[in-house]
Amino acid sequence: MSIAYLLEEGPGVHGDAGPPPAVLCRRRGHAWRLEWGGGTVLVGDSVGMRHLAALIANPGREIPAIDLVTGPVPPAEGALRGRTASDQPVLDEQARQAYRRRLSEIQAEVDEYESLNDLARAAAARAERDWLLTELTAATGLRGRARTFADDQERARIAVGKAIRRALTRIARADPGIGEELQTTVRTGLRCSYHPR
pLDDT (0 to 100) of residue 142: 54
Calpha distance 85→137 (Å, rounded):
22
Q: At 178, which amino acid appears?
A: I
**Nearest by Cα to 176 from 12, 34, 31:** 34
Q: Is the pLDDT of residue 160 over 70?
A: yes
pLDDT (0 to 100) of residue 75: 52
Q: Is the pLDDT of residue 73 over 70?
A: no
- Tens of pLDDT, residues 48-68: 999 999 999 999 999 999 899
Q: What is the largest CA-CA distance in the chain?
A: 79
- Domain segments of the chain as ranges: 24-84+151-194, 93-144
Which of 6-20, 78-92, 103-117 has the lowest average pLDDT?
6-20
pLDDT band at 175 (very low <50, low <70, confident <90, very high): very high
Evaluated on CA atoms 170, 174, 176, 179, the torsion sign reads negative
Q: Is the pLDDT of residue 85 over 50?
A: no
pLDDT (0 to 100) of residue 100: 83
Helices within the chain (DSSP H only)? 47-57, 65-70, 75-81, 93-115, 119-139, 152-174, 176-185
pLDDT (0 to 100) of residue 147: 60
pTM of the predicted model, to two decimals?
0.57
Cα dihedral 67, 11, 166, 189, rounded to 10, equals: -30
Q: Note whether 35 and 13 are within 8 A (CB).
A: no
pLDDT (0 to 100) of residue 2: 38
End-to-end Cα distance, the chain: 22
Q: What does DSSP assign to residue 140? A: B
